Chain A
Amino acid sequence: MELAIHTEVPESAPGLSVAASNPHKVTAKSVDVYYGDKQALKSINLDIPSNMVTALIGPSGCGKSTFLRCLNRMNDVVDGCRVEGEIKLDGENIYAKGVDVVHLRARVGMVFQKPNPFPKSIYDNVAYGPKIHGLARSRADMDEIVLNSLEKAGLLAEVRDRLDAPGTGLSGGQQQRLCIARAIAVEPEVILMDEPCSALDPIATAKIEELIDELKENYTIIMVTHSMQQAARVSQKTAFFHLGDLVEYGDTQGIFTNPKDERTQAYVTGRIG
């Protein structure tokens, strides 16, 4: 069974057949991830096109979040986590020696499942990234970055007159958009989103989804989602993970309407999950 999966998936050369117009932003080549003795991801090959939304779906514990966290090396801080294989960002292996994690994470931003604004003002939340990275040359510069980022995150209108209020005082949906503004303030190339809407109500979710759709003009977005509807609504490409394997990858439409693998079909039709 295990072997069968292996032979089926990797050599399907996913990115090639679809989206020829967009170059690959991120490419993963035979990535294995271990937590201690447990293997969490098995030989993942995945090419992610730029300026698109790629959704990673699959049942809980399938490895989709693990894979996402590999892309900006957030797994580095987890004890006993080991990553093998190659992940390239613009053709450069991010796991190579000499690659700086700090720099990498400035290029690959991340938005988390639960909104996690810092216990600071709205302004300082957004200014945090540019400040630590030294991106603003002046106060005016910083103001511009902050307002711009809030604008892009669609939050500016709501918070313009209370930038000094604590970020934790916002509603859940606003907090999540604040986190998105915080992430884009450092002008990353890729934004990783780990179930960004799972803690939000439907209205807030709709707003975030709208925002994601706009953001793909300027950023490559990779999101993990539990909701297949969400994946179908916002993503152009979808990758289905199951038990640490990448089962199927392709255009979102194709995955949902015409899945090639029976496990994918079982999942998207709600039989496993």
Chain B
Amino acid sequence: MTDQLSNSERIQAGLARRYRAEKRFRLYGIIAVVLAVGFLAVMLSAIGARGFGAFYQTHASLEVTFDEELVKDKDWQGIVKVAMRKSFPDVKARRDKRKLYKLMSSGAGFDLQGMYKADPELLGQTRTVWLPTSDDIDMLMKGQIDRVLAEDDRRVSDKEITWVDQWIASDRIELQFNTRFFTGGDSREPELAGILGAVMGSLLSLTVCLALSFPLGVMTAVYLEEFAPKNKWTDIIEVNINNLAAVPSIVFGLLGLAMFLNFFGMPRSAPLVGGMVLALMTLPTIIIAGRAALRAVPPSIREAALGMGASPIQTVTHHVLPLAMPGMLTGTIIGMAQALGESAPLLMIGMVAFIVDVPAAFTDPATALPVQIYLWADSPERAFSERTSGAIIVLLGFLITMNIIAVFMRKSFERRW
């Protein structure tokens, strides 16, 4: 009879089931952590594996002659064509020749132009130079194009593969460090596209963002923490700041578009406006971090300074602020890192255009690094997917560096009162 069971026996009877439930529950936790960490690992390794190739670009060695006629006509690509014909003398048919020219990047001529500009003595001379190949050949060399596929299913024809194999046999094609990726602006051709324009755009925007949000954020934090009376008005400011921190970033973009561009007539696509929008976005982060840093300064410091006859403003500027500064700077760096990764609001104010030139001023049209990633991600070329991943690696590199600095600052200035 179950009725006769003692409490102790009942507990004993349930134990096995309860411990199974315990194990299961714990397992759910482990699964959750593994899922989150695993996703991160998969994402980073997928992007890393794809993007690493962007730092290398296939180059072919050609014997180019700076033919006087062609140099005079500025037909630099023509020089490349001549060199290609010389490399493959067997290719006779016009269609094949056109195919042959396409092995090389359409930007190979620019390299020759650069060489000639640097050294006009080259006129009429012949040199062996390494020039970038087209993105398809680059992909082939990186093993991204499956040679086993039927000819119609791949972007490189059998003939082109034969030519590349000839190059390979004579050691005249190789992967070289892709300098252009770091020193060039955007391009329609993946092998010519670089991130410098986007990096500069981000840098200019962040400069504006920092110049606005840091002083404003620090002053607001100081006012709210040190001087503001506790009343309805400051309550409103406080609630307002907390809510502003959670407003979707794209709404800030709409604000920028309606206010800065349409109402004040500021230039489209300019880092100046981008920086202003980002500043409004980062302001809450900096204020919140700043207030936390000020609160961490013990009241005894203030009392001591006030007791010595310092005015409230002097107390804050001479004593409290220097002590709170590391904390504020840490918060600012984290805010800047957020701003660097932000793209949605920049789309709204037109920093999403195709811009080849590297921006040099705050009002030059520009993009930003994350927006460049967005733009490239949309391009169909295989090689652009590689460039996109490469740009992501660079972006993450910047973010990691900033966060390490923030962590380091927090550690080295951490003070226990």
Question: A residues near B, CB below 8 A?
Answer: 100, 102-103, 106-107, 132-135, 137, 186-187
- Cβ contact within 8 Å between B7 and A106: yes
Q: Which of A103, A132, A134 contacts B8 (CB 8 A)?
A: A103
Q: Cβ of B147: which chain A residues have Cβ within 8 Å of it?
A: none
The yes or no answer to B10 lying at the interface (CB within 8 A) is: yes
Q: How far is the CB of A134 from chain B (nearest CB, A)?
A: 4
Among the 9-residue stretches B12-20, B138-146, B174-182, B308-316, the one with 4 or more Cβ atoms under 8 Å from chain A is: B12-20
Q: Which of A102, A135, A186 contacts B18 (CB 8 A)?
A: A102
- Cβ contact within 8 Å between B2 and A102: no
- Cβ contact within 8 Å between A134 and B2: no
The yes or no answer to B41 lying at the interface (CB within 8 A) is: no
Within B191-219, which residues are at the interface with A (CB < 8 Å)? Answer: none
Known contacts A186-B7, A187-B7; A103/B13 CB under 8 A: no
The yes or no answer to B37 lying at the interface (CB within 8 A) is: no
Known contacts A106-B7, A186-B7, A187-B7; A134/B13 CB under 8 A: yes
- Cβ contact within 8 Å between B7 and A103: no
- Cβ contact within 8 Å between A106 and B2: no
Q: Cβ of A133: which chain B residues have Cβ within 8 Å of it?
A: 7, 10-11, 14
- Cβ contact within 8 Å between A102 and B7: no
Give a binary string over B1-40; 1 marks a CB under 8 Å from any A CB, 0 the rest: 0110001101111110010000000000000000000000
8 additional contacts (CB under 8 A) given A102-B11, A132-B18, A134-B10: A100-B15, A106-B7, A107-B8, A133-B14, A134-B14, A135-B11, A137-B2, A137-B3
Closest B residue to A186 by CB, please name it. B7
Q: How far is the CB of B81 from chain A (nearest CB, A)?
A: 75
Closest B residue to A105 by CB, please name it. B11
Q: Cβ of B11: which chain A residues have Cβ within 8 Å of it?
A: 102-103, 106, 133-135
CA distance in complex: A133, B18 (Å)? 9
- Cβ contact within 8 Å between A135 and B15: no
Show 19 A/B contacts (Cβ-Cβ < 8 Å), sorted by A.
A100-B15, A102-B11, A102-B15, A102-B18, A103-B8, A103-B11, A103-B15, A106-B7, A106-B11, A132-B18, A133-B7, A134-B11, A134-B13, A135-B10, A135-B11, A137-B2, A137-B3, A186-B7, A187-B7
Q: Cβ of A186: which chain B residues have Cβ within 8 Å of it?
A: 7
Known contacts A102-B15, A103-B15; A135/B7 CB under 8 A: yes
Closest B residue to A137 by CB, please name it. B2
Please provide the 3 A-B residue pairs with the shortest distance between their CB atoms, ordered closest to farther.
A134-B14, A133-B11, A106-B11
Q: How far is the CB of B208 from chain A (nearest CB, A)?
A: 49
Q: Cβ of B14: which chain A residues have Cβ within 8 Å of it?
A: 133-134
Q: Cβ of B3: which chain A residues have Cβ within 8 Å of it?
A: 137
Q: How far is the CB of B295 from chain A (nearest CB, A)?
A: 28
CA distance in complex: A263, B12 (Å)? 45
CA distance in complex: A69, B313 (Å)? 54
Q: How far is the CB of A156 from chain B (nearest CB, A)?
A: 21
CA distance in complex: A132, B12 (Å)? 12
CA distance in complex: A135, B3 (Å)? 11
Closest A residue to B2 by CB, please name it. A137
Q: How far is the CB of A261 from chain B (nearest CB, A)?
A: 39
CA distance in complex: A107, B11 (Å)? 10
